[in-house]
Chains A and B, each alone.
Chain A
């Protein structure tokens, strides 16, 4: 093997613990399950929208040119929620891993097929697809692993590369967002006026359409310099995303910056990116298995105490 290929292998196929990938599976699956449960009424409501508004996107556009019958929309939405449970538990994962990922892709693509594409669920779907098609994601903390005699003990490349891939997907997404601003609006975007106008228009439109808007936007619109700083930081954070791939400390700094950016978007525009704000989107950058081990240890200690108390 030549040295370049060896270096690529050393980076991309670096061994990682089975529990790290398993923890990401649990976090992504649990997030999706809770998110779908909270929004189940909303997702089901798409079954009864006016056919005239159907504008299929993504996989829905590949398959349909008119809406599905309402009962099938609702059945698929409920099947997505149901499939999230074995995904989280790692039960029959070779079937339910891909099944859940594909159902989630379908259900959320169908939601976006009514003339408006949101950008708050893209990373969830792509990350769920990556975890879903990797059977190794159920080699630990899963019912499948328990049936096979316990968690996989040794670190292995098969647990590392899916996490690297999830990190790269995030980095590309933010770089695309930064690139789009400069491509579509040019360097004028960096001067802040465009951002100020976007924030003002978005809030005014929400207010006029009877929705929640940011009470901070009105008072802050007086300060032009603030939007110049925010515009510059936004593009730096987005185009600077590749630094997150240089190591865990770089990743921590970048994730904190981009999390603050999303918190700012929420405060100024009332636009929530819950997947990013929850931190689940960024779990793949870190030793997130420690969270699972901490929870596991706490539960075991509590159970032991309870057993001791009952024993005498």
Chain B
């Protein structure tokens, strides 16, 4: 293999992996990336998340795992929950899909209702247990038929 092949491949690969440095800061790709994780300015620990809750007949709450929303990837579940809130029909469809998956889950056997909520929390307060409720707004809810 020639010296020139070695240099040609090396220069091409180095240029490709360094190229994302010139990208707009909102752009990302794969496998070339500017690796923007955890670089977004976050002056406060406030977080707003769309998430699913399972509610028992006695009112107790269960957070619903990603596998009941999309697959076992939490980030994909987050994207699906956000995306499917776009219209009333899509909200209702996702809610029904989750109830269908929860129905067969032993650990969530007592869940009588699924609620998809938009919750706003102070993440530090939430994790340190000082305020675990935050402000929640119900986007859709549906009964679990058993």
- Chain B positions 89 through 129: 1 when the CB is less than 8 Å from some CB of chain A, otherwise 0: 00000000000000000000000000000010101101111
Give the residues in chain B near A177, CB-CB below 8 Å: 35, 37, 39
Contacts A115-B83, A173-B35 given; indicate if A211 touches B30 (C-beta within 8 A). Answer: no
- Chain A positions 96 through 140: 1 when the CB is less than 8 Å from some CB of chain B, otherwise 0: 000000000100110010111111011101100110011110000
Instruction: Assess the B124–A205 pair: CB atoms within 8 A.
Output: no
Instruction: Assess the B74–A206 pair: CB atoms within 8 A.
Output: yes
Of the candidates B13, B34, B74, which one forms a contact with A165 in the assembled complex, judged by CB atoms under 8 Å apart?
B13
Please tell me if B138 contacts chain A, counting CB pairs below 8 Å: no
Task: List the 6 shortest-distance A-B pairs measured between CB atoms, nearest first.
Answer: A200-B123, A204-B123, A177-B35, A210-B65, A211-B74, A115-B79
Please tell me if B135 contacts chain A, counting CB pairs below 8 Å: no
Instruction: Assess the A49–B70 pair: CB atoms within 8 A.
Output: yes
> What are 15 A-B pairs at a CB distance below 8 A?
A46-B71, A57-B28, A122-B32, A129-B13, A135-B1, A169-B17, A173-B33, A179-B21, A185-B41, A186-B41, A194-B41, A197-B45, A210-B64, A211-B65, A222-B128
Give the residues in chain B near A210, CB-CB below 8 Å: 51-52, 63-66, 68, 74, 77
Instruction: Assess the A209–B74 pair: CB atoms within 8 A.
Output: yes
Please tell me if B57 contacts chain A, counting CB pairs below 8 Å: no
Query: When A and B form their complex, what is the total count of cross-chain residue pairs whose Cβ atoms lie within 8 Å?
Result: 206
Instruction: Assess the A57–B29 pair: CB atoms within 8 A.
Output: yes
Whose C-beta in chain A lies nearest to the C-beta of B14? A168
Contacts A195-B38, A204-B47 given; indicate if A172 touches B121 (C-beta within 8 A). Answer: no
A-B contacts besides A58-B31, A117-B30, 9 pairs, CB < 8 Å:
A53-B79, A169-B14, A177-B35, A180-B35, A183-B25, A184-B39, A200-B123, A207-B126, A209-B78
Q: Which of B1-23 contact A (CB under 8 A)?
A: 1, 3, 6-7, 9-10, 13-14, 17-18, 20-21
Contacts A201-B45, A204-B123 given; indicate if A109 touches B128 (C-beta within 8 A). Answer: no
Contacts A108-B31, A209-B49 given; indicate if A114 touches B79 (C-beta within 8 A). Answer: yes
Please tell me if A148 contacts chain B, counting CB pairs below 8 Å: no
Q: Which of A1-50 contact B (CB under 8 A)?
A: 9, 12-13, 42, 45-46, 49-50
Give the residues in chain B near A236, CB-CB below 8 Å: none
Give the residues in chain A near B38, CB-CB below 8 Å: 181, 195, 198, 202
CB distance from A126 to the nearest CB of B (A): 5
Instruction: Assess the A125–B31 pair: CB atoms within 8 A.
Output: yes
CA of A184 to CA of B25 in the docked complex: distance in angstroms?
7
Give the residues in chain A near B29, CB-CB below 8 Å: 57-58, 61, 117
Give the residues in chain B near A207, CB-CB below 8 Å: 63, 126-127
- Chain A positions 129 through 162: 1 when the CB is less than 8 Å from some CB of chain B, otherwise 0: 1100111100000000000000000000110010
Please tell me if B80 contacts chain A, counting CB pairs below 8 Å: yes
Contacts A13-B6, A184-B25, A210-B64 given; indicate if A45 touches B71 (C-beta within 8 A). Answer: yes
